Amino acid sequence: MQPDDLRMSVYASLMASLIAVGAYLMVPLGPVPVVLQNLFVLLAGLLLGGRWGLVSVGIYLLVGAMGLPVFAEGKGGIAHLVGPRGGYLFGFAAAAYVAGMLSERGRSRMRVVVVAVAIGTLMVYACGIPWLKMQTGMSWQKALTVGMIPFLVPDAVKAVAAVLLAKALRPLLRRKLGVAS
């Protein structure tokens, strides 16, 4: 393992920890609570890039699958991954990867980062809503009503926060990694 890979592994683990902490910062709204996890998922992609952002979410999902209480409401285990919220959890992986890849390719220009975060957020819904519908037997309308509509404004606020945090933290991270800004 190269020193840069070791450093990035540590950063990915730290982001996985923040994603887990975000699960505890929640407001219950039915089958899917409002949590800060997706803020940290998007931030992982923006700060670490697509590959390492995906690794950070992978670590988080693996730890949760092993039974550690890192999912919303302090839950863990495989059953939680395949339950009604599982699609959102897997959507986190897609969101981190896509947001990170788009941000990297756009050289972290602000408008590209905003689009990357928007698409990343949509990835969570694209994975979560069909999964919620399938697991609960809800109609599409009901799944959208309980699995997306209440979260649009909070997710927009978290997306803005992710963009602003990434803008502030990226120069610090680049200095630590020895990368030109």
| pLDDT confidence of residue 30 | 65
| pLDDT confidence of residue 11 | 95
Tens-place pLDDT, residues 33-80: 789 999 999 999 999 999 999 999 999 999 999 999 999 889 999 999
**Torsion angles phi and psi, residue 26, rounded to 5:** -140, 160
Tens-place pLDDT, residues 147-159: 999 999 999 999 9
| Residue 135: pLDDT over 50 | yes
Cα gap 49→35, rounded to integer Å: 22
Tokens of 77: 């285990």
- List all residues 6 or more positions away from 41 whose beta carbon is below 8 Å from its beta carbon: 19, 53, 57, 92, 95, 96, 120, 124
**Predicted TM-score of the model (pTM):** 0.92
Average pLDDT over residues 131-159: 95
- List all residues 6 or more positions away from 76 whose beta carbon is below 8 Å from its beta carbon: 63, 64, 65, 66, 67, 68, 69, 70
Of 27 and 153, which is predicted with more confidence? 153
What's the one-letter identity of residue 64?
A: G
